[in-house]
Amino acid sequence: MNKGWEHWSEQEVNAFQTDFLTWYQQEKRNLPWRYNQDPYRIWISEIMLQQTRVDTVIDYFYRFMEEFPTIQNLADAPEDKLLKVWEGLGYYSRARNLQAAAKQIVTEFGGKFPTTVEQIRSLKGIGPYTAGAISSIAFEIPEPAIDGNVMRVVSRLFCIEADIAKASSRNEFDEAMRKIISQDQPGDFNQAMMDLGSSICTPTNPQCEICPIQKYCQAYRENRQTAFPIKSKKQKPKDVYYIAGIIENKQQEILLQKRAESGLLAKMWLFPLEEVTEVRFNELKNQYDPAAWDLFSSTQVAEDSPDFFAEEAIVWQKKVLGEVKHVFSHLRWHILVFYGRSAAPLTLKGDWVKPAEFSKYVFPKPQQKMLEVFENNLADDKD
């Protein structure tokens, strides 16, 4: 096992830190959560940045802080309001964990954000990376914040051959980071690592010619930059197939259904979904040509109307409004969107909602995509 950091002298570590932090002060990104060391703002930003691009997070961060400027505001917020503000960011368990942790802070820490690594780690939804980021940036504790960017930088810096996809490898990166992290400016050091990994030491085509730590990098010296990090391939997400029903009643209301209390997209609202086999999905897709009918034409109804949701009093339009695809970490949803009208009460449970009232409901990304398909068809019908 290569542990190149063990061979760095104190003088070499100091020189590395000086060069790296000087670069950071000159080139650091101007981000709204970096204006001060408020642990609440840092916490919110770090949770939002998980699995999400920085440029996407910025607007959400501003809206979130406007709606919930304090820990107490977040703890007291109705969940539907919280999820509405979060809508579109995905991974909604992050928002629920934020609120659960806010309530912890109120009850266990008197409403004040905890100040030690151990206390921060005790909060719901906070793991080693987030605890390291908050404690170093807000409280100047020399705690590493190790994410994918940092592992990439450090693996190249020392030619670490540990597989970053394995949880057991984190110990090696933690050991390396504790050797090189600045004791005086740990927050800036961790943020410098984040910025370097996102802008220069990128997964492909790293810009080594402008890298501030080039002369310290073992992979650069050996011309093996693209060999690191070592990462085994993730298992491909499982394909799941659905029919979505946009069902309208005589009052021009649309049926929405709320997901279960737990699980994927918990407590969120979608058009009714029916899971089908891949074979059935493709049969329907090929049978009902999207170009076959105008959306509200009286000629669209026929005896061979689609037979899904067959037990319900719904007349389905003989066309596919569109196909929606959405990838979760472990699942890939394929959804065919159909439109139907109901003149009688249904046994399907849900809320009948005017489209003008949709903004009051929390829609996950798949629902937003289905709604866009529907609205595009309405627009086409009016042309």
Q: At what angle do helices 93-108 and 39-49 cross, to 10 degrees?
A: 160
Residues 179, 257 share a domain? no
Stretches in the chain below the pLDDT threshold 50: 295-303, 383
CATH number at residue 86: 1.10.340.30
Considering the domain boundaries, does residue 373 fall inside one? yes
Four-CA torsion 146, 151, 155, 157, nearest 10 degrees: -70
The token pair that represents 272 in the structure block: 């009714």
d(CA 123, CA 100): 8
Q: Locate tokens 């799941």: which residue? A: 240
Domain that holds residue 245: 238-382
What does the pLDDT look like over 17-76, one tens digit per residue? 999 999 999 999 999 999 999 999 999 999 999 988 999 999 999 999 999 999 999 999
Sorted by sequence, the CB contacts under 8 Å of residue 206 that are 6+ apart come out as: 156, 200, 225, 226
Residues 164, 70 share a domain? yes
What does the pLDDT look like over 278-325, one tens digit per residue? 999 999 888 886 665 554 444 444 445 666 776 678 888 888 999 999
Examine the fold and report which residue of 227, 247, 264 is the final residue of a domain before the chain moves on: 227
The token pair that represents 300 in the structure block: 């669209």
Going 282 to 288 to 294 to 298, the CA torsion angle's sign is negative
* Predicted local distance difference test score (pLDDT) of residue 68: 98
Residues 212, 269 share a domain? no
Considering the domain boundaries, does residue 232 fall inside one? no
Residues 76, 152 share a domain? yes
Residues 155, 10 share a domain? yes
Residues 303, 268 share a domain? yes
CATH number at residue 337: 3.90.79.10
Collapse the DSSP code of 382 into the 3-class scheme (helix H, G, I; strand E, B; otherwise coil) and give the result: helix
Residues 211, 294 share a domain? no
Residues 253, 199 share a domain? no
Going 19 to 20 to 21 to 23, the CA torsion angle's sign is positive
Residues 200, 109 share a domain? yes
Residues 75, 176 share a domain? yes
Sorted by sequence, the CB contacts under 8 Å of residue 115 that are 6+ apart come out as: 139
Catalytic residue among 27, 46, 278, 323: 46
Collapse the DSSP code of 97 into the 3-class scheme (helix H, G, I; strand E, B; otherwise coil) and give the result: helix
Residues 248, 204 share a domain? no
Number of domains in the chain: 2
Examine the fold and report which residue of 205, 227, 249 is the final residue of a domain before the chain moves on: 227
Q: Are strands 269-270 and 254-258 parallel, antiparallel or unpaired?
A: antiparallel
Sorted by sequence, the CB contacts under 8 Å of residue 327 that are 6+ apart come out as: 237, 333
* Predicted local distance difference test score (pLDDT) of residue 381: 55
Residues 47, 193 share a domain? yes
Examine the fold and report which residue of 178, 203, 227 is the final residue of a domain before the chain moves on: 227
Considering the domain boundaries, does residue 233 fall inside one? no
Based on the residue annotation, tell me whether 140 is a catalytic residue of this protein.
no
